Every structure is written in C-alpha cells, then in structure tokens.
Amino acid sequence: MTERPSAPLLPWAIFAAFTVALALVGLYLYQAIRDTRHAEVEAGLKAIADLKTDQLASWLADRRDDLGYLGKDSLLGRDFDAWLRHGGQDAGRLATIRRHMETLVMAGIYDRVILYDAGGQPRLERGGSEVMAEHEAAVREAMRLGQPVLVDFHRDGNGPIMVGMVGPLTMAANGGDRIVGALYVGQRTETRLFPLLRKWPLPSQSGETVLARREGDQALLILTRKDPPMSRRIPLSSQDVPAVRALRGESGFMENARDYHGDPVLAYGLKVPGTPWVQVAKQDQSEGDASVHRAAWQVAGVLTLLLAGAGGTLGFWWRARESRYRHRILKQELNQAVAAQEAAEALAASDENYRILAEYSPDWAHWLGPDQRYRYVSPGCESVCGYPAADFLADPGLMARILHPEDLPTWKADLEETPDPLHPAHAPLALRIRTRAGEERWIEHVCRDVYGSDGQYRGRRGSYRDITAARQLEQERAQYRRQLEAEVDARTADLKASNGDLEAFAYSVSHDLRAPLRAIDGFVAILLEDYAPSLDAEGRRLFGIVQENARKMGGLIDDILAFSRASRLALEVATVDMNALMDEAWAGLAEARGKRAIEFRRADLPPVAGDPRALRQIWQNLLGNAVKFSRGREPAVIEVGGEAKDGLIWYWVRDNGAGFNPDYAAKLFGLFQRLHSQDEFEGTGVGLAVVKRFVDKHGGRVEAEGALDAGASFRFGLPETSPNPFEKRSDL
C-alpha cells in the first residue's frame, strides 16, 4: 500500500505567506498610489491656483494701466473737462467724448464706460441701463486717492454681473493736477473674466476655481461651477468650505475640506493680492480617489489574479498529487484484484492441468506413500491390470498378489531400498502380472523417490506400463534374428564350403592338371633328346608342337590360378610408395624387355593406401602389356604418371604400341578376353582381368583408351582414403 500523502503544510504555508505578502504589497501600493495621486492633484491644484492668481493680477494691472492712461491728461479728460466747463452744452465736444467712449467699447475691452464729474455725479455713460449707486463710493475714493479703485463684482441693475474700476480724470495745472472727474470702465464678467477663471487646464471633471469675497459675516461665492455666480452665501463660521477657510486667512492645501455642496474636496486656496477676493482651486476628492481606487482595483485585480494563479497551481498540484495517489491506490487494488483473480484461475487451471495429466495418463501412474499405502493411482491402471484404481487405494497388498511369483522378489527388493536423495531414480523393472481377467501381462515399472517442498521424503512416484506387445514384438524379433543368423550361418557355411571347393579345385588344377602337362613335355623332351636320331625332321616338328602346346596350357593354368589368387586375396592396406613399387615392377620386366630400345618416362607418382602385393601385380601386368604390345616400335615409348582427381588417385601407363579398337574397349578387362591373335601377341587374356579385380577390391576404377596402331592408355584410380574395410571380407 502506498501511504496517503499528508496535507501539504509547507505549500499551504507558502501560499498563506504569499497571500499576506501580496496583501501588504497591495496596501503599500495603494498607499503609494494614493499619496502620489494626492501629490499630483495637490501640485495641479496649486499650479492652477497660482495661474489664476497671476491671471487676476494681470487683469487688475491691465485695468489700472488703462485707467492711468485714460485718466491723466488724456484727450478724453480734456474734452470732458471742456464739455463740463461749457455747462454740458458743447455738442461738438460731447460728440468727441462719445466717440472716445465708443472707441473703448468697440475695442472690445470694456462693456460700460461712465464719466463722472468732479462732484461725483455721473454725466455721461455708454452701455448699461442705469448708473449704479454703489459706484459713487468708489468714485469719491478714487478722486480722493488720485488712483484707480476697484469696483467689485456687482449686478448692473438686473443686468449682467459686472466688474470694473474707477480712476480719476486729471489735467495738469499750475501747482499740481486738477481733478476733472472720474472714469469708470466695467466688463461683463460672463464674457471676459469668468471664462478665464472657469478655464481648467487639467483633465478633470470636477476641477474648478472658486472666487469668493467677504460680505458681512458671510462669504459670497462670486464664481462657482455648480451655482449661478454670486448666488450662494456661506456663513464665515463654516469649517469645511475652503473658500471660507481661505477668507479666514488659511491658504495652501486644505485637507478634510467639503465644498459648498458638502462634497469632500481637495482644495488649494489663497488670497488674491490687491483685492478682497480669495481664490480656491479645488477638485472633488471622489475624482482624485477614483483614479486611486481604479489603481487600487487594478492592483487588487492583479493580486487576485496572482493569488488565484498561485492557489490554482497549488490546488492543481494538490489535485494531481491526490489523483496520483488515488490512481496508485486504485492500481494497487486493481492489481491485487487481478492477481487474486489470476491466482484463482491459475489454481483452477493448474488443478485442471494436473487432473488431466494424471487422469488421462495412458500409464498406470501412482504415488506410494512412505507407509506403503497408495496416495494416488491413476485410472489408467484399469486398462493395464483390470483392477480399478480404488482397489489399490483400498488394498495395499493387491499389487503383491497379482505379481508373478518369480518376479515378486525383484519387486520387493526394489521396494525395500532405502531412499537416497542423491539417487532418487530406480532402475526400470520388467515384471509379469496376472490381470483381473487372468491374463498374463508384461509391465515395465519405473519409479523414483519424491520429496515435498520441505525436503521431506514423501514416498515414490512411479508408473507401470503395459509392455506385453513390445515384449512380444521383441521376442518375435529375437526369434527372427536367430532365424536370420542361422540362415546367414548356413549360407556362410555353404559359401565357405563352395569356397573351399573352389580352392580345392584351384589346388587340384594347379597340381593335377599340370602334372600330365609336365609328363607330356618331359617325355617329349626325353624322346627328342634320346631318340632324336630315330626321328626325321617332320617327326621332330610334330613333337615340338606337342611340347609347345603343353607349355601353353601350363601358362594358361598359371594365369587361372593367378586370377583365382587375385580374387581371394585378403587386402592388407598400407601406405604404398608407388614410385618404388612401380620401379620394382619395371625392373622385374627386364627379361621380357630384353635388349629392346624402350623410352621409359616416369612422372612422380603420388603415394596411395592399398595392398602392396596387389598393386605390384597391377603394375607388373600393365607394364608387361605395354612392353609386349609396343614390340616392333622404334623406339617404343612407355609413359607412367599419376594425379589426384575426383576423389581418386589416378595412375596411368601409356604406350605407343599396337593399341586396340576402341569399340571393344569394354571387353578388355574381361577374363580370357583378347583383342589380338596369338600369332601377333601371345597371352591368355587374364592380366587385365586381374588388374580390374585388384582395383575393384580397392574400391577403385579402371579405364582404357586406345586406337588401332595408335597406342593404348590404361588408367586405374584408387580412393584417396583407405578402401572400405568391408571389402576385406574376401574370405567368404
């Protein structure tokens, strides 16, 4: 069993640590992003506030410059002064003045121009519906101070909100400037200043510039994004509104601020120098935070993704691990189940195998326990002895009773042998039993000691096999063999007898046939010797013929005997030096050769295995023939050679003699076969027959080639190995 893997503490710890670390990183990132964002917003707000302040300052300076230019010794001032002196009756002057005023408006800078006399009374005006009372204080102040005074945001009656400036009109005179009157120039805020202030140079939905001034114990919001201009007033006690806080003297970045609608805002406030105004650049905190939150959400998303990835990986790993474990467990269980199943099947198959092996044994198989009782007897026993297996199992003595009494001791002796683990097998026994039907049968008993897997002696395992048929067959064979041997012996005896007869005949021929010939020849010789004077020439010739024929017959008998001897010769094989043997034979023919001139050529002859006596005779006969049949050739040429070819060692004797008609070549080696007449060449026709007989006995071959008067060539081939030993059985 594979151990179930423990819960992965380390991976989970790592995952938890990872989560915490990610959370910390996320927190840190969030704070960092928020801080950065705040700093960015702050910087933006400050920059915008500064910009607006500069713009307002610039605007104020421009107005002052304008009034300075228009108020001091100007054409407007001179004409207005002149018009005033004439009591407002000088139409020409008035037209000029109006042209001046029209120029100011038409130039697109101012929307309203009012001229005041030195007493502070408005005299001429351009644009607008009525002269505003509140201007009067500013007019008097300007003439008193001798310099321009701001006319703060105000409504032109029910008309547009204006802002303007009043400056004194002076003319140079003796002893200083003389104030002629005052000039008011005003601008509609909606077309001039407010757009400037409303303009927000940064990409923000909620960014705005708030302009405010104090009015009693209230703050008047001159310009906001959300309310109509100069419509909202907020008590100066308010703690949250940045404009109020700025009016109270606070400047710079303001935290925990809420705007006039109560919305949390980020704000930067400051006083506008030279004016009663405060200016606040602000942005909804929600907008600034929105990007922070967006970043936070992004960070959180990324972190979540990372966490999910890590968790997923961990989970995946865990599941894979778990799955492997389960797979292993399942596989083990499956293997165990399969193994158990296989074991069960194998056992069943094995039982079946053994049952088939035992039950269908054609033999009478058995297992005899150490207590001499049968543990098992195969059903085959019934077919052998006629008793069913159960009889032997029930009756251990049954075997002894059915055994032939003569074989009982053998069987008992074998049974009483002590078990020897080194030699467990027992020699086979052939026993006779009497079957249940009373029939005698031969059985072969083989058995061996058996041992359990614990090494304990467990008795004997053996079998009885019916060998009656084989035994009968064997007996028949033995009988047949005896008959055959007897027959062979009889024939051998016959053959020996006939051989003996032949030998006796040959012996008889050699002795008894020769004796009369000897007598004929001998007594003719005596007759010719002792009675020659009594015979005439014809008588002596006739006696000569008698003598000659007697001798011929003697030669014939000699040759027959030689052939007989050749046939009966028992080969005694040895390695033979053919050169020496042939030389010896050639030397033996010296008498036959006489003084003839014979050119004898002998090549080196290979040695051969054979009987020297037979081989010498072969050479004698072949060389003798060559000498004989080359008679009359000058010179006679006789060649001898030898070579190994086709598994035989061939020797040949070639002469340039009389040769023979090749048509009769087959006859040459037959007994008493002659191709020449006695007148030409004497002979009995036995020599080549003897050669052939000897060569045959060696298991060789003979060949002859020739042509009439063109010489003859005789070849004999002997086996390279020693002749078949059965060829030696020539004594039969």
Residues near another protein, by CB under 8 A: 506-507, 510-511, 514-519, 521-526, 550-551, 553-554, 558, 561, 565
H runs (alpha helix) in 396-513: 398-402, 408-415, 468-508
Considering the complex, state which of residue 394 and residue 526 has its C-beta at the smaller distance from another protein. Answer: 526
10 Å CB burial of residue 405 (0-12, 13-18, 19+) is: exposed
Closest CB 539 distance from another protein, rounded Å:
18
Q: How many CA atoms lie within 13 A of 342 on its CB side?
A: 6
Q: How many CA atoms lie within 13 A of 492 on its CB side?
A: 10
Considering the complex, state which of residue 570 and residue 666 has its C-beta at the smaller distance from another protein. Answer: 570
Closest CB 726 distance from another protein, rounded Å:
23
Q: 639: which strand partners?
A: 601, 654
Q: 429: which strand partners?
A: 445
Considering the complex, state which of residue 215 and residue 682 has its C-beta at the smaller distance from another protein. Answer: 682
Closest CB 514 distance from another protein, rounded Å:
4
**Tokens 């051998």, residue located:** 492
Closest CB 728 distance from another protein, rounded Å:
17
Closest CB 579 distance from another protein, rounded Å:
26
Longest dimension (CA), the chain: 242
Considering the complex, state which of residue 363 and residue 559 has its C-beta at the smaller distance from another protein. Answer: 559
Q: In what order do the strands lie in the sheet with 712-719?
A: 598-602, 636-645, 648-655, 712-719, 701-706
Task: Report the alpha-carbon distance of residue 533 to residue 537 in Å, rounded.
Answer: 10
Task: Report the alpha-carbon distance of residue 15 to residue 309 in Å, rounded.
Answer: 11
Closest CB 587 distance from another protein, rounded Å:
21
* Count of positions (residues) in the chain: 732
The answer to whether 520 and 546 are in contact (CB under 8 A) is: yes
Q: Which of 690, 681, 586, 674 is nearest to 638 (CA)?
A: 586
The answer to whether 396 and 369 are in contact (CB under 8 A) is: no
Closest CB 554 distance from another protein, rounded Å:
3
Considering the complex, state which of residue 32 and residue 525 has its C-beta at the smaller distance from another protein. Answer: 525
DSSP of 170-226? EEEETTEEEEEEEEEEEEETTTTHHHHHH---SS-SS-EEEEEEEETTEEEEEE-SS
Considering the complex, state which of residue 300 and residue 556 has its C-beta at the smaller distance from another protein. Answer: 556
The answer to whether 603 and 578 are in contact (CB under 8 A) is: no
Task: Report the alpha-carbon distance of residue 281 to residue 359 in Å, rounded.
Answer: 115
Provide the token pair at 673. Answer: 């076969």
DSSP 707: -
Considering the complex, state which of residue 402 and residue 517 has its C-beta at the smaller distance from another protein. Answer: 517
Closest CB 563 distance from another protein, rounded Å:
13
Considering the complex, state which of residue 256 and residue 534 has its C-beta at the smaller distance from another protein. Answer: 534
**For residue 498, is it left (φ>0), alpha (ψ between -120 and 50) or beta?**
alpha
Closest CB 686 distance from another protein, rounded Å:
14
Considering the complex, state which of residue 423 and residue 518 has its C-beta at the smaller distance from another protein. Answer: 518
The answer to whether 453 and 465 are in contact (CB under 8 A) is: no
Closest CB 583 distance from another protein, rounded Å:
24
Closest CB 413 distance from another protein, rounded Å:
57
Considering the complex, state which of residue 384 and residue 506 has its C-beta at the smaller distance from another protein. Answer: 506
User: How is the chain split among helix, strand and coil, in percent rounded to 5?
Assistant: 50, 25, 25
The β-bridge relationship of strands 574-576 and 176-188 is unpaired
Considering the complex, state which of residue 161 and residue 506 has its C-beta at the smaller distance from another protein. Answer: 506
Closest CB 645 distance from another protein, rounded Å:
34
**Tokens 């300075």, residue located:** 68
Give how far Cα 314 sits from Cα of 17, 310, 311, 321, 649, Å: 13, 6, 5, 10, 95
Closest CB 561 distance from another protein, rounded Å:
6
Closest CB 550 distance from another protein, rounded Å:
6
Considering the complex, state which of residue 490 and residue 519 has its C-beta at the smaller distance from another protein. Answer: 519
Angle ∠(185,186,192) on CA atoms, nearest 5: 130
H runs (alpha helix) in 360-388: 380-385
Considering the complex, state which of residue 226 and residue 541 has its C-beta at the smaller distance from another protein. Answer: 541
Considering the complex, state which of residue 549 and residue 575 has its C-beta at the smaller distance from another protein. Answer: 549
- Helical pair 285-359 and 9-71, crossing angle rounded to 10 deg: 160
The amino acid present at 267, given as its one-letter code, is A
Considering the complex, state which of residue 523 and residue 531 has its C-beta at the smaller distance from another protein. Answer: 523
Considering the complex, state which of residue 310 and residue 509 has its C-beta at the smaller distance from another protein. Answer: 509
Closest CB 602 distance from another protein, rounded Å:
29
Task: Report the alpha-carbon distance of residue 457 to residue 449 in Å, rounded.
Answer: 7
Closest CB 546 distance from another protein, rounded Å:
12
Task: Report the alpha-carbon distance of residue 261 to residue 680 in Å, rounded.
Answer: 172
Q: Which of 620, 602, 627, 622 is nearest to 681 (CA)?
A: 627
Closest CB 654 distance from another protein, rounded Å:
31
Helix H, strand E, coil C: the string for 232-267 is EEEECCCCCCHHHHHHCCCCEEEEEEECCCCCEEEE
Considering the complex, state which of residue 459 and residue 683 has its C-beta at the smaller distance from another protein. Answer: 683
